[in-house]
């Protein structure tokens, strides 16, 4: 324990260690929220929600490791091998994806535990590849006992976190798993750093990229947070629209969702009435589907009124009564049109 505290306190820049911890927490929170959405999603959405979770998790884990490496204050210049650094980032993102796919494929306790094991292996591979990417005028050796001590608790925490995710839904579960994931990543990195021994060797050539640590740490932090939150925002927006489509399609009446005069969704009932396919209706101007002008439609929606008009089908016109209401979709104003024959 003293060696670990000494490693963090004496050989690392505290501001950058704090930045690495913040990135790790943000990545873990986002990952848990995305996995919660994947758990509730149908087969169609679950696959790419899991992929977004893998991107969020892998990015957060890699950025935590890389910024913590930049925080390491060696007594000699450090360069980074670009190929191995890139490999470490790709390896952990792909490893996270494989772990989550294994966990969700069967959804059993055993599959989730296996996912935790795969995640631990991915993080370990990323750490060792990242360490190998260091170019320093010294030879790197490991205390294998300490390396095992670093990986064992990370493995236990990841398996426990995955098992908890499988068993106990709710915000308390999400909070606990966030803590497990964050602590496992930090635990593996910093304990593994105490296992690393650098023996000075002036004969080692440095061909990698030498960058100013604080500037690079800031850049990596910003890009990582943008990627993590971008992955979450994409899934969140898709879920909002998916929920809206589910409501629209469940209605027994014909429904059109119109935004800026353009149809953005049409349920099955109104497609049957019009004799048109979904792609024939989505993206069309509403005046191409209803025998009324957009200003009249807007005025009707503003007043919450109804009127009789015609639905323009394929080669025919069907008399309908249209009801219009204003709705809000992702802070954009739209109109919901309900038609009955």
Domain ranges across the chain: 2-244, 251-340
**Reported pTM:** 0.67
For 152, other C-beta atoms within 10 Å of its C-beta total 14
Q: Is-contact 202 136, C-beta < 8 A? A: no
Pair type for strands 254-259 and 262-266? antiparallel
Q: How far is CA 279 from CA 183, 284, 311, in A?
A: 48, 9, 17
Q: What angle do CA 249, 253, 258 make, to 5 degrees?
A: 65
Structure tokens at 159: 């398996």
Q: How far apart are CA 335 and CA 290, in angstroms?
A: 14
**Which pLDDT score, from 0 to 100, does residue 75 have?**
66
Nearest partner of 5 among 20, 23, 17, judged by Cα: 17
60 within 8 A of 28, measured Cβ to Cβ: yes
251-340: in CATH 3.30.450.20? yes
Residues 6+ apart with CB under 8 A from 156: none
Phi and psi at 264, nearest 5°, equal -105, -15
Q: Distances from the Cα of 192 to the Cαs of 3, 81, 152, 229, 322, in angstroms?
A: 11, 20, 11, 29, 67
What is the Cα–Cα distance from 136 to 205, expressed in whole angstroms?
8
Phi, psi at 143, each rounded to 5°: -85, 105
d(CA 304, CA 297): 10
pLDDT tens, the chain, 341 aa long: 434 444 444 556 777 888 888 888 888 888 888 888 888 766 667 888 898 889 989 998 998 988 888 877 666 777 788 888 899 999 999 999 999 999 988 888 899 999 999 999 999 999 999 888 887 777 788 888 888 888 898 999 999 989 888 776 777 888 888 889 999 998 888 888 888 877 777 766 666 555 666 666 677 777 777 777 777 776 666 666 555 555 555 556 777 777 777 887 777 777 888 888 877 777 788 888 888 777 777 776 666 677 888 888 877 888 888 877 776 655 455 666 666 55
Q: Which of 154, 185, 179, 149 is nearest to 164 (CA)?
A: 179
Which own/partner contact pairs does 277-282 have at CB distance under 8 Å and 24+ positions apart?
281/256
Q: Is 314 exposed, middle or buried (0-12, 13-18, 19+ CB in 10 A)?
A: exposed
216 touches 297 (CB < 8 A): no
Query: What pLDDT sits at residue 251?
Result: 58
Could you give the C-alpha distances from 200 to 68, 77, 82, 197, in angstroms and in order? 22, 12, 22, 10
């Amino acid at each position: 324990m003293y060696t670990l505290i000494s490693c963090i306190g004496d050989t690392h820049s505290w501001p950058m260690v704090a930045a690495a911890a913040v990135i790790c927490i943000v990545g873990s929170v986002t990952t848990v929220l995305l996995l919660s959405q994947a758990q509730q999603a149908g087969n169609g959405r679950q696959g790419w929600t899991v992929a977004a979770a893998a991107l969020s998790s892998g990015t957060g884990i890699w950025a935590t490791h890389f910024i913590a490496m930049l925080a390491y204050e060696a007594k000699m210049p450090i360069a980074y091998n670009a190929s191995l650094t890139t490999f470490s980032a790709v390896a952990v993102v792909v490893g996270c994806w494989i772990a989550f796919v294994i966990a969700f494929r069967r959804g059993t306790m055993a599959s989730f535990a296996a996912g935790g094991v795969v995640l631990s292996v991915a993080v370990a591979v990323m750490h060792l590849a990242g360490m190998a990417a260091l170019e320093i005028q010294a030879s790197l050796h490991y205390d294998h006992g300490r390396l095992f001590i670093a990986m064992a608790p990370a493995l236990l925490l990841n398996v426990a976190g995955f098992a908890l995710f499988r068993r106990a839904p709710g915000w308390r579960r999400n909070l606990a798993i966030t803590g497990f994931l964050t602590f496992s990543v930090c635990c593996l990195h910093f304990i593994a750093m105490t296992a690393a021994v650098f023996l000075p060797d002036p004969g080692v050539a440095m061909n990698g990229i030498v960058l100013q640590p604080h500037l690079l740490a800031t850049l990596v932090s910003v890009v990582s947070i943008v990627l993590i939150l971008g992955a979450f925002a994409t899934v969140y927006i898709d879920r909002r629209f998916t929920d809206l489509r589910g409501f629209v399609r469940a209605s027994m009446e014909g429904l059109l969702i119109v935004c800026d005069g353009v149809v953005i969704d049409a349920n099955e009932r109104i497609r049957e009435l019009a004799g048109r396919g979904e792609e024939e209706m989505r993206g069309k101007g509403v005046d191409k589907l209803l025998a009324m002008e957009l200003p009249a439609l807007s005025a009707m929606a503003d007043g919450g009124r109804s009127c009789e008009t015609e639905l323009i089908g394929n080669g025919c016109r069907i008399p309908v009564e249209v009801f219009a209401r204003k709705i809000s979709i992702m802070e954009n104003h739209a109109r919901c049109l309900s038609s009955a024959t």
